[in-house]
């Protein structure tokens, strides 16, 4: 996408430096600024951004305070801000002096709660963008490459180079077009002009959902049992049989069971939809009378678990907890029923759980 000046926001000093280095390796005039930079160096860097010597500034929120550069056409939130106020300050860096500007936010499925908070605070929806295909990116690069050739030809001052090329062509008997191609490659260094098409492209319908966040994980070893979507419901169980989850997995408890009419497919569908997690990353599901357990990746972040707590399945809120946590703290269901040894089902008798309307 064409841009004039750009600020990319990263959360940490290390993040700014790593990202700036990668951009520089791809031929972009990018520099990182962060809180550790001396004031004099910071001012010099900002001045270079203003006069066009630098096109991309990779910054932390602290380092970007007070920054005012009119030529900023794009603000990229590489790391989502932790609060809506920071987001507002970030995107305010673009569109200065009556100019148009674009703000782009990179978001992972686990950060959707922050996205919703931003939308509520700004009172504007953040429209999803379709990731460009390899062909679309290459078409833009080719057009830009041709434009650069046209600009250099129009600027003139090529006489010295022309005589050298003619001399080389006579001496080596190499066509001029091959010499031009070699010079173009020399100018780009190790950075290829065009992207290579991946061996397997993501399915288009998954692109807006950012399923790649889970595809980066190695798949679990296949089980001898059938796919969880084909598992039959276990019979009603009075006692739970505790089993160790597979390596890399952890057991989670959800407060919906047989008495609510839930089936394995309901649980899989809800988690797949709300967490953008393919079913192949889910493990064993056990359904009991009034609760169920499911094995999920053991590195699932707490904020995603907190989000899944609020999800409704079969008319019940999941209230998901890591297995064992529910035993360590009093269950909300037992509030008011503290008689020692009281049967759990008797304690809950007459307590009607709220059902989601609609």
Domain boundary among 97, 122, 147: 122
Residues with Cβ < 8 Å from 127, sequence gap 6 or more? none
Q: Say whether both 14 and 51 belong to one domain.
A: yes
Q: Total structural domains in the chain?
A: 3
Q: Say whether both 57 and 14 belong to one domain.
A: yes
| pLDDT tens figures, 272-324 | 888 888 877 888 889 999 999 999 988 888 888 899 999 998 889 999 999 87
Cα 108 from Cα 130, distance rounded (Å): 14
The model's confidence at residue 199, banded by pLDDT at 50, 70 and 90, is low
Find residue 105's DSSP bridge partners: 77
Poorest-pLDDT segment among 62-71, 256-265, 340-349: 340-349
Q: Say whether both 84 and 159 belong to one domain.
A: no
Look at residue 127 and tell me if it is in a domain: no
Look at residue 270 and tell me if it is in a domain: yes
- Both tokens of 88, joined, read 């507002």
pLDDT score, position 23:
92
CATH number of the domain bearing residue 112 = 3.40.50.300
The model's confidence at residue 217, banded by pLDDT at 50, 70 and 90, is low
Helices (H), the chain: 13-25, 39-50, 84-91, 112-122, 134-155, 159-172, 176-188, 212-215, 264-275, 302-309, 325-328, 344-348
Poorest-pLDDT segment among 100-109, 142-151, 198-207, 302-311: 198-207
pLDDT score, position 262:
87
Given a contact cutoff of 8 angstroms between Cβ atoms, the answer to whether 285 and 293 are in contact is yes
Cα 118 from Cα 209, distance rounded (Å): 18
Listed residue (285, 282, 270) closest to 318, CA to CA: 270
Listed residue (319, 263, 316, 257) closest to 292, CA to CA: 257
Look at residue 193 and tell me if it is in a domain: no
| pLDDT tens figures, 99-130 | 778 999 998 887 888 888 889 888 889 989 88
Q: Say whether both 106 and 10 belong to one domain.
A: yes
Look at residue 212 and tell me if it is in a domain: no
Q: Say whether both 107 and 156 belong to one domain.
A: no
Average pLDDT of every residue of the chain: 79
Residues with Cβ < 8 Å from 184, sequence gap 6 or more? 145, 193
Q: Say whether both 164 and 109 belong to one domain.
A: no
Q: Say whether both 247 and 344 belong to one domain.
A: yes
Look at residue 50 and tell me if it is in a domain: yes
Long-range pairs, 346-355, Cβ under 8 A, ≥24: 348/290, 353/315, 353/316, 354/317, 355/315
CATH number of the domain bearing residue 295 = 3.30.70.330
Q: How far is CA 144 from CA 7, 26, 30, 258, in A?
A: 21, 15, 19, 61
Q: What is the pTM of this model?
A: 0.51
Q: Say whether both 64 and 141 belong to one domain.
A: no
Look at residue 61 and tell me if it is in a domain: yes
3-state secondary structure of 334: helix
3-state secondary structure of 348: helix
The model's confidence at residue 225, banded by pLDDT at 50, 70 and 90, is very low
Find residue 76's DSSP bridge partners: 8, 104
Q: Say whether both 163 and 251 belong to one domain.
A: no
Cα 24 from Cα 50, distance rounded (Å): 18
Look at residue 227 and tell me if it is in a domain: yes
**What range does the domain containing 67 cover?**
5-122
Look at residue 129 and tell me if it is in a domain: no
Find residue 31's DSSP bridge partners: 57
Q: Say whether both 57 and 154 belong to one domain.
A: no
């Amino acid at each position: 996408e064409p841009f004039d000046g750009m600020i990319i926001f990263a959360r940490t000093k290390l993040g700014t430096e790593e990202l700036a280095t990668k951009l520089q390796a791809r031929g972009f005039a990018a520099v990182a600024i962060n809180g550790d930079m001396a004031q004099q160096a910071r001012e010099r860097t900002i001045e270079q951004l203003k006069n066009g010597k630098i096109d991309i500034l990779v910054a932390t929120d602290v380092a970007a305070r007070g920054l005012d550069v009119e030529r900023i056409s794009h603000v990229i939130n590489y790391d989502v801000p932790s609060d809506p106020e920071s987001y507002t300050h970030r995107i305010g860096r673009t569109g200065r002096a009556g100019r148009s500007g674009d703000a782009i936010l990179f978001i992972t499925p686990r950060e959707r709660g922050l996205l919703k908070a931003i939308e509520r605070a700004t009172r504007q929806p953040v429209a999803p963008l379709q990731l460009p295909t390899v062909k679309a990116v290459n078409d833009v690069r080719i057009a830009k490459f041709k434009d650069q050739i046209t600009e250099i030809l129009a600027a003139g001052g090529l006489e010295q180079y022309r005589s050298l090329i003619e001399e080389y062509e006579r001496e080596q008997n190499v066509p001029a077009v091959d010499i031009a191609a070699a010079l173009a490659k020399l100018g780009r260094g190790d950075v290829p002009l065009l992207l290579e098409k991946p061996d397997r492209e993501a399915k288009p319908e998954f692109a807006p959902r950012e399923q790649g966040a889970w595809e980066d994980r190695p798949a679990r070893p296949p089980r001898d049992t059938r796919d969880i979507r084909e598992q039959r419901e276990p019979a009603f169980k009075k006692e739970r049989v505790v089993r160790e989850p597979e390596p890399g997995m952890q057991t989670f408890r959800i407060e919906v069971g047989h008495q609510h009419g839930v089936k394995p497919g309901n649980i899989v569908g809800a988690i797949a939809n709300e967490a953008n997690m393919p079913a192949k990353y889910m493990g064993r599901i056990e359904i009991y009378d009034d609760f169920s357990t499911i094995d999920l990746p053991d590195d699932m972040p707490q904020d995603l678990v907190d989000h899944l707590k609020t999800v409704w399945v079969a008319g019940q809120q999941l209230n998901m907890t890591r297995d064992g946590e529910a035993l360590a703290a009093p269950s909300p269901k037992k509030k008011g029923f503290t008689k020692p040894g009281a049967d759990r089902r008797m304690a809950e008798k007459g307590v009607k759980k709220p059902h989601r309307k609609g």
